[in-house]
Amino acid sequence: MKKFAPANQIQDLQYFGEFGGVNPSISDSSTYTFLSAKTMFDTFEGNADGCYLYSRHTSPSNLYLGEALAAMEGTETANVAGTGMGAITAAILQLCKAGDHIISSRTIYGGTYAFLKNFTPQLNITTDFVDITKLDVVEAAITPETKIIYCESVSNPLLEVADIEGLAQLAKKHNLKLLVDNTFSPLTISPAHLGADIVMHSLTKFINGSSDTMGGVICANQEFIDAVRNVNDGASMLLGASMDSMRAASILKNLRTLHIRMKQHSKNAMFLAERFEADGLKTVYPGLPSHPGHELFKRMMNEEYGFGGMLTIDVGSLEKANELMELMQERNLGYLAVSLGFYKTLFSAPGSSTSSEIPEDEQAEMGLSDGLIRFSIGLDNDIERTYELMKQCMMEVGVLEAAMAY
Ligand code: PLP
């Protein structure tokens, strides 16, 4: 397969501001004037290309950002949203109506899991949660009512790797849509290029990279994006999780350094994962040959960006995990915080935070243990120093001895 070069796609876009500025001008307006009443009517009907109506629908700044993200994912176009969940919920609700069925990976972000488990059943949309790494299990779960297969390229928090090409073939065979949340692996994995129909991101994470805003995006074909924006029945337009133009402009500026940041996140994560594993810690990182999805990841990846910035270690118990995280924060090795993709390392225990929406018995079934710590590795310039200091913390709380005894 011809290699896809997502960073070039972003680089090759050219923007000018209103006065020749090197950044596009920000559309600092919630509403737009029309020279004729007829054009306003046509715009409502979706027939006036290039005319803006109201910023919940879209705005020039949001279109610029959407265009760049669509270029990155290799889709026809994209629609940005106020948050990742704003993008995910709109995409799902646009495709599924009462009586429909969804097949979802069982290891996904806790908010998405809660939406599919608790919220959509109230609309009579049901979901079966399956082990997405087993294509035969996914296929067996398909019913005549199934409309979509949903997964994350690299799952939160267990870092399971989805076989996007295999899932895309299944989706095609059964006339379903494959929706992929690519939040953990921007640039590294290009799901649309591998056959996914719709690719979503929480821009809040790596793509923006500054932990200063929320954002989301749906990347898809023009027909689907027109549908989610439709003033009469579009889920993005009517549910209203729209992005503000000021934020769209700032995220676009940060997007331009994503390739440099991803390489550094990946380099640092690989370094730490190798050391942690060698020290005897139970380490999960897609870049380690011991990861069950390692070969699959290698087949799918755009090599130069590495295996991403996310890794987990299991320190045996929540008490140990908390003790270690508090000490690492005290020593300024990162922050005890949810979210990911920051310049500083972030760590949290997903069982009691980002995945706490998942009931305990189901957490156990999917292998999400109490002592799991999820790391979003930062952009540290001297990762060897970071490792030495982290190791010191691990020795002090007795995690390394515990690991040796496995
Ligand atoms: N998808 C993944 C994989 C996430 O980790 C998150 C948030 O943690 C989301 C989606 C939701 O994004 P947001 O918090 O921007 O709504």
Q: pLDDT tens digits, residue range 358-370?
A: 888 888 888 899 9
Looking at residue 404, its pLDDT comes to 58
Q: Is 348 in the pocket of ligand 1 (CB under 6 A)?
A: no
Is pLDDT of 398 > 70?
yes
| Confidence at 192, pLDDT banded by 50, 70, 90 | very high
Q: Is 105 in the pocket of ligand 1 (CB under 6 A)?
A: no
Arithmetic mean of pLDDT, 157-175 = 97
Kind of pairing between the strands at 126-130 and 101-105: parallel
Q: Cα–Cα distance between 282 and 337 in angstroms, integer?
A: 21
For 4-44, the pLDDT digits (tens) are 899 999 999 998 999 999 999 999 999 999 989 888 888 88
CA of 181 to the centre of ligand 1 (A): 9
Looking at residue 403, its pLDDT comes to 58
Q: Is 181 in the pocket of ligand 1 (CB under 6 A)?
A: yes
Give the angle subtended at the CA of 198 by the CAs of 86 and 100, to the nearest 5°: 75
Q: Is 150 in the pocket of ligand 1 (CB under 6 A)?
A: no
Looking at residue 357, its pLDDT comes to 82
Arithmetic mean of pLDDT, 185-196 = 98
| Confidence at 2, pLDDT banded by 50, 70, 90 | low
Closest approach atom of ligand 1 to CA 216:
15
**CA-closest residue to ligand 1 atom 11:** 84
Q: What domains does the chain contain, in order, with CATH numbers?
A: 6-255 (3.40.640.10), 259-405 (3.90.1150.10)
Instruction: Tell me the two tokens of residue 222.
Output: 């023009």
| Confidence at 1, pLDDT banded by 50, 70, 90 | low
Give this prediction's pTM: 0.96
CA of 258 to the centre of ligand 1 (A): 18
Name the packing angle between helices 222-229 and 84-95 (round to 10°): 100
SS3 101: strand
Q: Cα–Cα distance between 272 and 384 in angstroms, integer?
A: 8
Q: Is 204 in the pocket of ligand 1 (CB under 6 A)?
A: yes
Is pLDDT of 243 > 80?
yes
Looking at residue 35, its pLDDT comes to 87
